[in-house]
């Protein structure tokens, strides 16, 4: 799309997906009720920021969201934003799975128009709900020229986060969304989005013809003294891949590393090594000489998630498998999106 005419207001598409931001009290608890048009109608201030079109994708509790639905949402956004009419989009989404949905959109989106994903920690029936302010901040970000080319971003609590870095870190706090490895890339003040750090853009994944649900990936988090018996369930349950959230920089007990089940899993499916800590990279050359060290595991053929936490590694592996990627292509993709460059040439 050509440079925007500075004499007109930005055109922003707001797509509602449900979640707490759309929920109102209905007897015993809050239920997604408000569609995108209703959310925007409560904000007369948007007229000063942008020309808005509101569409509803669904009234979905965040816990019900799937990667199939996210792929369909991406297709709808690609069709709308590809017309060149809109300068950006805002997606309202439940916070339970917001970090995964935003990362999936970021992986799939190849356009320059920004896609801003937002939500609310307080539903609309609670005192001082944060949804309206988050929508306004998101529209300001979607309309900002500085946000173009940055892919999918997450905006809550007046902070702007890169989709591949952000995590939900608290069940109720208004400051629940954080990027522990790098911090927010910007903030919103006085109705203006200010980008202070520009993340490197990664090449979008090629679209897959297979629904992500047909390429299920297991996420297995290890605990102290774990003997790996859940690997048997993974092998028997039809999973196409496995993300292993290991200790620290990427370590597992010898009892697992030397087991027949572990060897069987490595032969049966791609296995990605991540860390259960949620921040920082998987190591690649610090510990060796013992079964289950990161060097031992990488030598066995595990793929490092690099900087990606387990949840995001699972999203990436699922979309790669849905796109028909083989093991070498999977390793290359994690090298790019996880910032990891070991043995993938």
Cα–Cα distance for residue pair 130/102, rounded to 1 Å = 19
Instruction: Tell whether 157 and 60 lie within a shared domain.
Output: yes
The per-residue pLDDT for 219 is 98
User: Would the pLDDT of 242 be above 70?
Assistant: yes
Cα–Cα distance for residue pair 51/170, rounded to 1 Å = 34
Cα–Cα distance for residue pair 21/36, rounded to 1 Å = 10
Instruction: Tell whether 155 and 15 lie within a shared domain.
Output: yes
Domain boundaries, position 132: 11-195
Q: How confident is the model at residue 200 (pLDDT cuts 50, 70, 90)?
A: confident
User: Would the pLDDT of 345 be above 50?
Assistant: no
Instruction: Tell whether 180 and 261 lie within a shared domain.
Output: no
Buried b (16+ CB within 10 A) or exposed e, 241-279: bbbbbbbebbbbbeebbebebbeebeeebbbbbbbbbee
Residue 76 pairs with which residues in a beta bridge? none
Instruction: Tell whether 287 and 150 lie within a shared domain.
Output: no
Of 170, 195, 220, which residue constitutes the final position of a domain? 195
- What whole-number percentage of the chain has pLDDT above 70? 97
User: Would the pLDDT of 103 be above 80?
Assistant: yes
Q: Which residue has the tokens 């937002």?
A: 118
Q: How confident is the model at residue 48 (pLDDT cuts 50, 70, 90)?
A: confident
User: Would the pLDDT of 181 be above 60?
Assistant: yes
- Between 280 and 4, name the one with better pLDDT: 280
> How, if at all, do strands 29-32 and 23-26 pair?
antiparallel
Give the DSSP letter string of 27-51: TTEEEE---HHHHHHT-TTHHHH-E
Instruction: Tell whether 181 and 238 lie within a shared domain.
Output: no
Least confident of 46-50, 51-55, 85-89, 217-221: 46-50
Residue 178 pairs with which residues in a beta bridge? 167
The per-residue pLDDT for 341 is 53
Q: Looking at residue 258, which CATH number applies to its domain?
A: 3.40.50.40
Instruction: Tell whether 243 and 320 lie within a shared domain.
Output: yes
Beta-carbon-side half-sphere exposure of residue 101 (alpha carbons within 13 Å): 31
Of 195, 223, 246, which residue constitutes the final position of a domain? 195
The per-residue pLDDT for 190 is 94
Of 160, 195, 230, which residue constitutes the final position of a domain? 195
Cα–Cα distance for residue pair 156/48, rounded to 1 Å = 20
Buried b (16+ CB within 10 A) or exposed e, 83-107: eeebbbbbbbbbbbbbbbbbbbbbb
Q: How confident is the model at residue 41 (pLDDT cuts 50, 70, 90)?
A: very high
Q: How many domains does the chain have?
A: 2
- 319 belongs to a structural domain: yes
- 58 belongs to a structural domain: yes
Cα–Cα distance for residue pair 39/124, rounded to 1 Å = 10
Instruction: Tell whether 190 and 241 lie within a shared domain.
Output: no
List of residues 6+ apart from 312 with CB closer than 8 A: 99, 100, 103, 164, 305
The per-residue pLDDT for 343 is 44
- 203 belongs to a structural domain: no
Measured distance between the N- and C-terminal CA atoms of the chain, rounded to whole angstroms = 35
- 5 belongs to a structural domain: no
Q: Looking at residue 117, which CATH number applies to its domain?
A: 3.40.50.1170
Angle at the Cα of 150 from the Cα atoms of 211 and 177, rounded to 5 degrees:
80
| Residues 122-162: tens digit of each pLDDT | 999 999 999 999 999 999 999 999 999 999 999 999 999 99
User: Would the pLDDT of 342 be above 60?
Assistant: no
Instruction: Tell whether 177 and 33 lie within a shared domain.
Output: yes
- 157 belongs to a structural domain: yes
Quick check: 249 and 279 in contact, CB under 8 A? no
Q: Which residue has the tokens 């209703």?
A: 38
Instruction: Tell whether 242 and 290 lie within a shared domain.
Output: yes
Q: How confident is the model at residue 3 (pLDDT cuts 50, 70, 90)?
A: low
- 233 belongs to a structural domain: yes
Instruction: Tell whether 216 and 189 lie within a shared domain.
Output: no
Cα–Cα distance for residue pair 177/93, rounded to 1 Å = 13
pTM value? 0.94
Instruction: Tell whether 158 and 248 lie within a shared domain.
Output: no
Instruction: Tell whether 45 and 145 lie within a shared domain.
Output: yes
| Mean pLDDT, residues 225-236 | 96
The per-residue pLDDT for 202 is 86
- 229 belongs to a structural domain: yes
- 289 belongs to a structural domain: yes
The per-residue pLDDT for 1 is 40
The mean pLDDT value of the chain amounts to 94
Angle of helix 327-337 versus helix 310-322 axis, rounded to 10? 140
């Amino acid at each position: 799309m050509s440079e925007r005419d500075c004499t007109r207001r930005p055109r922003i598409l707001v797509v509602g997906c449900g979640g707490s931001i759309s929920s109102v009290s209905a007897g015993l608890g809050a239920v997604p009720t408000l569609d995108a048009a209703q959310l925007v109608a409560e904000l007369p201030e948007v007229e000063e920021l942008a020309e808005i079109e509101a569409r509803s994708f669904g009234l979905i509790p965040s816990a019900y969201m799937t990667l199939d639905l996210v792929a369909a949402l991406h297709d709808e956004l690609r069709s709308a934003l590809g017309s060149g009419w809109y300068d950006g989009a805002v997606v309202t989404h439940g916070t339970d799975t917001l970090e995964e949905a935003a990362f999936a959109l970021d992986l799939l989106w190849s356009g320059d128009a920004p896609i801003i994903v937002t939500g609310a920690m307080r539903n609309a029936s609670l005192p001082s709900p944060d949804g309206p302010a988050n929508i306004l901040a998101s529209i300001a970000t979607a309309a900002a020229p500085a946000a173009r080319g940055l892919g999918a971003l997450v905006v809550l609590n007046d902070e702007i986060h890169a989709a591949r870095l952000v995590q939900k870190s608290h069940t109720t706090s208004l400051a629940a969304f954080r990027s522990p490895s790098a911090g927010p890339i910007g903030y919103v003040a006085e109705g203006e989005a200010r980008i202070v750090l520009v993340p490197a853009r990664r090449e979008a994944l090629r679209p897959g013809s297979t629904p992500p649900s047909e390429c299920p990936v297991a996420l297995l988090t290890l605990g102290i003294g774990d003997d790996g018996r859940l690997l048997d369930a993974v092998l028997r349950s039809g999973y196409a891949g496995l993300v292993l959230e290991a200790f620290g920089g990427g370590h597992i007990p010898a009892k697992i590393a030397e087991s027949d089940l572990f060897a069987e899993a490595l032969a049966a499916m791609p296995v990605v090594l991540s860390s259960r800590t949620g921040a920082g990279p998987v190591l690649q050359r610090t510990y060796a000489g013992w079964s289950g060290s990161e060097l031992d595991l990488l030598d066995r053929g595990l793929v490092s998630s690099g900087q990606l936490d387990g949840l995001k590694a699972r999203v990436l592996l699922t979309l790669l498998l849905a796109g028909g990627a083989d093991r070498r292509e999977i390793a290359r993709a994690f090298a790019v999106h996880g910032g990891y460059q070991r043995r993938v040439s």
